[in-house]
Structure 1
């Protein structure tokens, strides 16, 4: 991922297998008489030398062309990148300068398909791209392209991209990275947009973007985050075409970190919750789940939000039997449908024995306080044994889908990445759904 320390003109290298040259200029020196038949003379290569020498191979010359932006192009999107092709090149250098000759920082996109400026280019400005390729002969080949970016689009044609998480947030090991766009991204533009959301982590963790809806993307690691992981996201959407004459409003970043490895597991058969830290059980808590007519969901959820005090109000429920207004302590939301972990002093006598709630995970006041003080937004909870399966999209249910299915939500065919070599100078290395921006439905107690 590009970082503020990225060199202005990075040198790109690649391995190339040399192609053996045909000996089109070689032949046997003219001989006559018996010598031609008896073989008492070895053939002599044209150009001198004895029969044991071969001609010197001429080092291949490098060549390079810039395919985008084209030379003299006008109205180029400010989110453009430099696309080029180099042949027989051992090293390649890219330079981009503005009209005043000032260098523009940038680096190759991680997929190698183009050189990406460190930030969106200025609107209505002229730039010159120069790509220099050097082959085995040491002689450089150069291509240049001067182009002009488009005028700034009106605000009504700019699409914002926002993160659910704030900078420097500390998240649970099950938290997904969530980004929303100000309008639906057409399917034809989703791969290009997704490609500009660059994620790096330290230590490295494999992960992928998936489209939760046309306006929402989630990035999930293949397995739960490692405690202490540093996460850096660079959204390179500024000036990027997003379909229908719409363009990304600006570039943005997100920096966050992963807290302690806390996981919660609930078994409906035993009416117990097990709290695990670093994979080891550290506490067992009696629970009461949803009554038979309002069962809790079985599946893997994550804590969406936490409220020390709140009010559960279902007075608008069409069924009078389900109407109530109750003060709640230590509430932790799990689904948009209203399932929470929360203190329920009125059901302590049932906790660990039977299910009496409206779908929530009822615990005692003391246990609710313990959980509230040890969990984070993104702490995973897995419930098993209830008669109701968790609906995908009812909350952040990314972990309730197998990895092999989850990757299918990516607009770019997924290929497992190779673990990168650490660079100490770089940033840390990298179904219908509900709409979290909508008002969540009433909670269950």
Structure 2
């Protein structure tokens, strides 16, 4: 933080000299007396010196049992941090980076357990002065209770434009602990696009999305810096997770129950119209904006465990998952006569074998699927559902304050 420098405006007073007075034939001249030197005000500029840099850091010196996720907290005034050096007992420096707001330095990976660390922070003042502050601390041992985590994003994969960043927690994170956890979830996009994290009601998942679908070609770089992080109830995050992935072309699938057709739209143009059969009245498909979550060239649908004698066990080809509750787009050769005319499925989007293969070969995980006009609505959290709510409603799920300009984007 750069200190305020205040300068006073120069004050200038001009000496006023009266004109000479002439008197007839009198040889004496009179003039207004000029001010004595001590009465004159010369040009002057007075500057208030900049305040010296002020710096304090955490953890406190000698602190023990510090989580391995520990950040170096920075309280700074009248200057900026020029370096942060953290070294373990082996003398090797730990990689890390400052937060954008300068409030702390975050290690690039979890620290070692039961290790002593020495910290040196140097700050430079706005007047050219500097200050060096040191501390040391010892990390805790391996925790007994952990929160399992997952990241649904993988290095070097290409995803659809509606791919949210999804981080999973088991058990779920309680409301009181979500802000601290959310602060350790980092996303960068190239080209830059604003985004926000929001939680499901159970705290088992946090989604990150932008106000609109990602721009095609966007690079997503994600770090869930959760290893050793206190997550509440005496638990700690199991590990750090990170991925760098790419967003592909813009492809959307739009399913209309009224017409019983799917329009496949790529880069704004309809490239194929596909007849569909949706869920029968007793088992309707859900309406909403979903995302392709998984793709299986061949699988078995088995509902006998849940439906008993009314259940079924069937080999399925070209299945694309849309919800956790079991709705898919898939090949259904048994319903080709109904496709485009009547709803006969158990909730899935039935298409012909040839259309199913064409679609399977063309789609990416993260492609959006919008279904409208059915007798049921998509439940939030049944699949990757952050796009199924408005941006204004989505940001309400953030555990941290959202800037007004971003909330109204």
TM-score per shorter chain, which class? 0.7 to 0.9
Quote the offset at 1:176 in angstroms.
1.6
Which residue does 1:54 correspond to in 2? 44
Q: CA deviation at 1:316?
A: 4.9
Root-mean-square deviation (CA, aligned residues, Å) is 2.9
Distance 2:131 2:216 in 1: 48
The Cα of 1:39 is off from its aligned counterpart by 10
Counterpart for residue 41 of structure 1? 35
Deviates more, 1:271-280 or 1:238-247: 238-247
1:175 is displaced (CA, Å) by 1.7
Rg larger in 1 or in 2?
2
Aligned equivalent of 1:329:
317
1:71 to 57, 61, 67: 61
What CA distance in whole angstroms lies between the structure 1 residues aligned with 2:231 and 2:360? 41
1:362-397 deviation per Cα after TM superposition (whole angstroms, max 9, x unaligned): 111111111111112221110111222222222222
Structure 1: tracts of 5 or more residues without a match: 1-13, 27-37, 419-445
| Structure 2 contact 290–383 (Cα < 8 Å) conserved | yes
Cα distance, 1:317 vs structure 2: 5.7
Indicate the structure with greater strand content. Answer: 2
Residue correspondence of structure 1 range 110-149 to structure 2 within 5 A: 110-145=100-135, 147-149=136-138
Relative distance call for 1:326 and 1:181 in structure 2 (3 A) is: closer
Q: Does 2:176 match 1:176?
A: no
Please name the residue that 1:19 is paired with: 6
Does residue 1:341 correspond to 2:329, yes or no?
yes
Give aligned pairs, total. 386
Aligned-pair CA distance for 1:309: 1.9
Residue 217 of structure 1: how far off its partner (Å): 1.9
Would you say the 8 A contact 2:61–2:137 is kept in 1?
no
- Give 2:256's match in structure 1, choosing from 259, 262, 267: 267
Out of 226, 236, 243, the position equivalent to 1:247 is: 236
Aligned residue number for residue 95 of structure 1:
85
Summarize the Cα distance change of 1:184–1:313 in structure 2 as closer, same or farther, 3 Å threshold: closer
Assess if the C-alpha contact under 8 Å between 1:206 and 1:416 holds in 2: no
TM-score (norm 1): 0.78
Tell me how far 1:402 sits from its aligned partner. Answer: 1.0
Whether contact under 8 Å (2:3, 2:51) holds in the other structure is: no
Uncovered stretches (5+) of structure 2, i.e. residues with no partner: 12-31
1:51–1:319 distance in 2 versus 1, CA, 3 Å = same
Distance 1:133-1:44 versus aligned 2 partners, 3 A rule: farther
In structure 2, the partner of 1:296 is: 285
1:373 counterpart = 2:361: yes
Aligned-pair CA distance for 1:298? 1.0
Larger RCO: 1 or 2 (CA < 8 Å, sep 6+): 1
Quote how far apart the aligned CAs of 1:94 are. 2.8
Cα distance change of structure 1 residues 104 and 150 upon mapping to structure 2, 3 Å threshold? closer
